[in-house]
Amino acid sequence: MPGDDAGVWKARAPGGAHRPPGGRADRHDPMTPPGPRARPAVNRALTPRWRTRVTENDEYAAFARRVLRGWARRVAAGDIDAIADMAAAIGELEDALRVAVAGLRRKGYSWADIGDRLGVTRQAAQQRWRAGGRD
């Protein structure tokens, strides 16, 4: 449509943007250009930062052991269908252990360090968890 300036910014006064009939710029008026960036309403220096809770390895491992013991009690109480899920979890745990050992090796831990923590010799750890026969 000729003469339709909807959505177009036009300076209509010597120092400013289009003003509605009331003389005050409306914040939501599409003809009012955006002003300088507004300051945040929160004073960050006075607002306490929320601390994120870090789960320590010892706590996490203890929790995982409690879950496994509870799972075993449930199966032992007569949930025979869950025994197949438990057997499948063994494979997943082996995969997770393999990933963990590979990550430790990439971080520079020796086979002796890993074997010592797992209660096996360096050679046994290397034979069981060596990726693709290398290293």
Per-residue tens of pLDDT for the chain, all 135 residues:
555 555 554 445 455 455 555 555 555 555 565 566 766 677 777 767 766 666 577 888 899 999 999 999 999 999 999 999 999 999 999 999 999 999 999 999 999 999 999 999 999 999 998 876 555
Asked whether residue 72 is assigned to any structural domain, the reply reads yes
Structure tokens at 35: 């002003």
Asked whether residue 87 is assigned to any structural domain, the reply reads yes
Q: For residue 109, what are the domain limits?
A: 57-133
- Confirm if 104 and 114 have CB atoms less than 8 A apart: yes
Asked whether residue 21 is assigned to any structural domain, the reply reads no
Asked whether residue 18 is assigned to any structural domain, the reply reads no
Torsion sign (Cα): 104, 108, 109, 110: positive
pTM of whole model > 0.75? no
Residues in the chain: 135
- Would you state the torsion angle of the CA atoms of residues 56, 57, 58, 62, taken in this order, to the nearest 10 degrees? 110
Asked whether residue 30 is assigned to any structural domain, the reply reads no
How many of the other CB atoms lie within 10 Å of CB of 125?
Answer: 22
Asked whether residue 128 is assigned to any structural domain, the reply reads yes
Asked whether residue 113 is assigned to any structural domain, the reply reads yes
Ramachandran angles phi, psi of 71, nearest 5°: -60, -45
Number of domains composing the chain: 1
Asked whether residue 68 is assigned to any structural domain, the reply reads yes
